[in-house]
Amino acid sequence: MPDGPLIVQSDKTLLLEVDHPLAGEARRAVAPFAELERAPEHVHTYRLTPLGLWNARAAGHDAEQVVDALVRFSRYPVPHALLVDVAETMSRYGRLQLLPDPAHGLVLHALDRAVLEEVLRSRRTAGLVGARLDDTTVVVHPSQRGHLKQVLLKLGWPAEDLAGYVDGEAHPIALAEAGTGPDGAGAWSLRPYQREAVESFWHGGSGVVVLPCGAGKTLVGAGAMAQASATTLILVTNTVSARQWRDELVRRTTLTEDEIGEYSGARKEIRPVTIATYQVLTTKRKGAYPHLELLDARDWGLVVYDEVHLLPAPIFRMTADLQARRRLGLTATLVREDGREDEVFSLIGPKRYDAPWKDIEAQGYIAPASCVEVRLSLPEPMRMVYATAEPEDRYRLAATAPGKIDVVRALLARHPGEQTLVIGQYLDQLDELAESLDAPVITGATTVTQRQKLFDAFRAGEVPVLVVSKVANFSVDLPEAAVAIQVSGAFGSRQEEAQRLGRLLRPKGDGREAHFYAVVVRDTVDADFAAHRQRFLAEQGYSYRIVDAEDLGALDAAE
């Protein structure tokens, strides 16, 4: 294609011209293997990384498909050295295999003897492998399965884990798809992409399913549980999420409430299906994690990690010891702000299924969304305060600029009667907003009971505006939310931006569009962080219009 939308460069960056008629098609083609780094208005920058290429390889894409996508959409000839490097990088995945062995339990087998020699000479593998059986095979102690995979990935030779899994304790679980569920819910069935996700996960054995917020990740979890028909441990971000999982499982499967236990700060129930919070598992006492014994409390057949991009470090450590259990990670984005995507790859498993947000939107399963960044300026006296502030204080100063309250009021006036979330990071700012808007506020200090009460009132339309902190970022199902106004965020967190937009993407009964606003102070780190946060959504095909706070009337005219 002589005039494609992509410029492929030898430093492994891909430049995508956003306004090109084939830009959307090119973006979908490179998304499985390239990560978006920058997304300004006209040219988006992607990067090829080994982990991205290995994830693509594990998900069933081969080097030929990657090369074809690059060559097909590139405006200029693709550097030959880069194509060779792509093929060689992808070929590294699976040259080492972890296999079951009747005599020794677990072995590391090499399809390439030189690769085995190389990794065995590394000090990092010392103590993780045992006796050499022949030129291409070495014994591995089953307890070192996860640790060895971590080390091999860091050495650049990611192992394909074909060692299989224990079945765990059997427990009958089926989807209540036909007829009515236990609570009288109407007939339903898994959507085609949910079915594909379950099949891809089950075929791969363990790994991560990436789906947009609102696309029914819980139902993919339920489908995997039905496939396993075994005792299941589900790890979630908080107690509200735990209870939503329980309610959904009771509605959508043959499980009863008595078969589902909650293991949280409030309750310590261990049942055939146990839902535990990351917080309780990572609670430390006298240097130890007393609740990790939950992992050995039953012979689990499946471990589900909700919001896998948020896994705390101790959960990675415990997961290294759970390699014989099937593991399913669920997330809207594999982006981790701590850069530990390689730990997810080696310990939970590679990406098994990924559905682009816009594809799911096109099928009508999530709502279309309009994203607008509203920019305002600091008043002159505050500009001087900001300019002379310590660097660590500048974001708070900009993010909590008093002018943002007036912008929020103006935006609410544009959407009268719409269920609206006002989302922020700083508690004093949220309290001020709640008072100004005469709206209730939910923060980390709000009790679980009170949170659920307010969320229920919001769902019922009794509370039209809810001011929330980051506690509402994750696993809170608010299908009625049609507008979100973000006044401050966790610095430049791409995953948070994705989660916040995700709060709006449940399809609306009348098919209307959702509206996501980010209120940002120009010429400050607030604007810099906003640009960084928007990267992931740009990768999914969303674009932000930028308007001046004083021109909100023009926005109405444009729509």
Quick: pLDDT tens for 42-95.
Answer: 888 899 999 999 999 988 899 999 999 999 999 999 999 999 999 999 999 999
Cα(397)–Cα(526) distance, integer angstroms: 9
Confidence of residue 553 (pLDDT cuts 50, 70, 90): low
Both tokens of 199, joined, read 């099949």
Assess whether pLDDT exceeds 80 at residue 292.
no
Question: What average pLDDT does range 271-279 have in this prediction?
Answer: 93
Assess whether pLDDT exceeds 70 at residue 105.
yes
* Confidence (pLDDT) at 111: 96
pLDDT over 70 percentage in the chain: 92
* Confidence (pLDDT) at 392: 83
Closest among 440, 504, 510, 515 to 477, alpha carbons compared: 504
Pairing relation of β-strands 544-548 and 483-486?
A: unpaired
- Least-confidence region, from 148-152, 325-329, 421-425, 505-509: 505-509
| 3-state SS assignment for residue 91 | helix
pLDDT in tens, 422-479: 988 888 999 999 999 999 999 888 888 898 899 889 888 899 999 988 776 555 667 6
Cα(449)–Cα(464) distance, integer angstroms: 19
Question: What average pLDDT does range 213-224 have in this prediction?
Answer: 91
pLDDT over 90 percentage in the chain: 50
DSSP code of 320?
T
Assess whether pLDDT exceeds 60 at residue 557.
no
287: left (phi over 0), alpha (psi -120 to 50) or beta: left
Which is more confident, 334 or 66?
Answer: 66
Assess whether pLDDT exceeds 70 at residue 559.
no
Contact (Cβ atoms closer than 8 angstroms) between residue 256 and residue 304? no
* Confidence (pLDDT) at 539: 67
Assess whether pLDDT exceeds 90 at residue 545.
no
Cα(33)–Cα(45) distance, integer angstroms: 13
Mean residue pLDDT of the chain comes to 87
Distances (CA, A) of 62 to 46, 54, 187, 241, 470: 19, 10, 39, 37, 39
* Confidence (pLDDT) at 175: 94
* Confidence (pLDDT) at 180: 45
pLDDT winner (highest mean) among 11-15, 186-190, 465-469, 526-530:
11-15
Cα(266)–Cα(58) distance, integer angstroms: 39
* Confidence (pLDDT) at 2: 54
Cα(549)–Cα(557) distance, integer angstroms: 15
Question: What average pLDDT does range 97-102 have in this prediction?
Answer: 94
Assess whether pLDDT exceeds 90 at residue 550.
no
H helices within 6-140, ranges in order?
23-30, 50-58, 63-73, 80-92, 113-120
List beta partners, residue 140.
129
- Count other Cβ atoms within 10 Å, centred on residue 444: 10
Assess whether pLDDT exceeds 80 at residue 316.
yes
Cα(190)–Cα(558) distance, integer angstroms: 38
pLDDT in tens, 358-398: 788 888 888 888 888 899 999 888 999 999 999 888 888 98
Confidence of residue 186 (pLDDT cuts 50, 70, 90): low
Assess whether pLDDT exceeds 90 at residue 543.
no
Assess whether pLDDT exceeds 80 at residue 334.
no
Confidence of residue 495 (pLDDT cuts 50, 70, 90): low
Q: Which residues contact 177 (CB under 8 A, 6 or more apart)?
A: 187, 188, 189, 190
- Least-confidence region, from 161-170, 209-218, 348-357, 546-555: 546-555
Assess whether pLDDT exceeds 60 at residue 556.
no
pLDDT in tens, 3-37: 899 999 999 999 999 889 999 899 889 988 998 77
Question: What average pLDDT does range 141-160 have in this prediction?
Answer: 94
* Confidence (pLDDT) at 444: 82
* Confidence (pLDDT) at 183: 43
Assess whether pLDDT exceeds 70 at residue 195.
yes
- Count other Cβ atoms within 10 Å, centred on residue 364: 10
Which is more confident, 102 or 38?
Answer: 102
Assess whether pLDDT exceeds 50 at residue 488.
yes
Contact (Cβ atoms closer than 8 angstroms) between residue 498 and residue 536? yes
- Which residue reads 């604007």 in tokens? 527
Confidence of residue 288 (pLDDT cuts 50, 70, 90): confident
Both tokens of 513, joined, read 């569009």
Assess whether pLDDT exceeds 60 at residue 129.
yes
- Least-confidence region, from 263-267, 381-385, 405-409, 471-475: 471-475
Both tokens of 224, joined, read 């995997």
Assess whether pLDDT exceeds 60 at residue 1.
no
CB burial class (10 A; 0-12, 13-18, 19+) of residue 209? buried
Please, what's the b/e burial string for 169-205 (b: 16 or more CB within 10 A of its CB; e: otherwise)?
eebebebbeeeebeeeeeeeebbebbebbbebbbebe
pLDDT in tens, 319-333: 888 888 999 999 887
